[in-house]
Amino acid sequence: MNQSNCIVAQSGGPTVAINASLAGVIAGVKSSEKYDICYGAVNGILGILNENYLNLSDIFADDANLEKLKTTPAMYLGSCRHKLPDYKDDDSPYVYIFHQFDKLSIKAFFYIGGNDSMDTVLKLSDYAKKINSDVKIVGIPKTIDNDLCMTDHTPGFGSAAKYIASSMLEIAHDTFIYAVKSVTIVEIMGRDAGWLTAASALARNEYNTAPQFIYLPEVDFDKDKFVADIKEALEHTNNVIVAVSEGIHDADGSYITSSNAACDQFGHQQLCGAGKALEFIVKENIGVKVRSVEVNVLQRCASHLASLTDIEESFAQGKKGVMIAAEGVTASMVCLKRISNNPYQVEYTYSAIKDIANEAKSVPREWINDAGNDVKPELIEYLKPLIQGETAVAYKDGLPDYMDVSHLHKCN
């Protein structure tokens, strides 16, 4: 068997654009003279460990399916949050994975994901080097958190930012209708980096100043200062809207949440309730009408409100991953380099995975105001190009027509 095949998997939390990156990989393989078959591992790296594969070259032989995949939310291949051990402690999963690569004539592995997925790319790359494997290991970024290093921004972030800004504007319209004092707290995803919460500022326009306050995890949260902020704002307006990251914490590093929760395999506490905690603070200290809104998974699965810029860039990064692997690049992640804001231009490149895995990119402190409760124009200028354009989602019987993903929820 002289085939040169490749395999792709998706991991971590889903986004609107991660399937566009998958479509880019498949399209890249179709146009490549290097690879014959593109396999998909179902449920991330677990798909290889469990030998659960799809032949994506067959499924997406029709370009119409590939176009539908680009606008389908979440992950066509499913996901996992599985942490590989250090191969020096236990190499058994690595031996098995690379045996599967040999069995399927795999010459390149593409892993689409965020920080934890890049940890897997790094570990597989290190093991491949140890055993002198010729399999190219390439990471393709995604995360609504926008916290991967060495790249200007990540696939999925622009669409989530567009959804957050649009929802914030709609929430503002909803609050304007009552001539009573009120506070609305909107909790937005973001454990250690506040990029997505910062995008709420894009909702401001010539008649809307909401959100009046934005609290990010990059700045320690001060309860007393928060109460003072709200009281002062209510002297000038009836309706105050606050955008808050789920990962806000005090000066001691303790999360401002309404509950304690367990941790996942990567040691991340499952955060919830920052908005509810602030709601209680307002009730106890100010006594006006207050409610909290947790946007939750809606911000990462709203394909009907995707950014065309995001979808196109995500697709291109998937293709770039195939291109660099075919050129012999390994142990790397596809990256974006911004050339200019106006006109908006980017360059597709790559960086060594050792400089990316297990690192996180925060919102620069100089892009946050001195009071720590709002963002500066420099951040708005950075964000604005990423939400531009609308996708042409197909509809059937009045609802979006997405790819059939029944292979993900059937019982084994």
C-alpha 238/C-alpha 103 separation (Å) is 66
- φ, ψ of residue 201 in degrees (nearest 5): -65, -20
Report which of 34, 18, 17, 8 is spatially closest to residue 324, judged by C-alpha positions.
Answer: 34
Question: Does the annotation count 145 as an active-site position?
Answer: yes
- Pair type for strands 213-215 and 239-245: parallel
Q: Is residue 385 reached through a cis peptide bond, with omega within 30 degrees of 0 on the bond before it?
A: no
Q: Nearest to residue 360, comparing CAs of 201, 149, 219, 184?
A: 149
Tokens representing 392 are: 């042409």
Q: Are 74 and 19 in contact (CB under 8 A)?
A: yes
Give the DSSP letter string of 11-46: -SS--SSHHHHHHHHHHHHHH-SS-S-EEEETTTHH
Q: Quick one: CA torsion of 159, 165, 166, 167, rounded to 10 degrees? A: 110
Q: Choose the catalytic residue: 116, 119, 145, 310.
A: 145
> Which H/E stretch holds residue 335?
strand 332-341
Through-space distance between the first and last CA atoms of the chain, rounded to whole angstroms: 30
d(CA 148, CA 150): 7
Question: Which tokens is 68 given?
Answer: 């539908």
Look at residues 391, 387, 390, 365 and name the one whose alpha carbon lies nearest to residue 378. Answer: 365
* Residues with a known catalytic role: 145
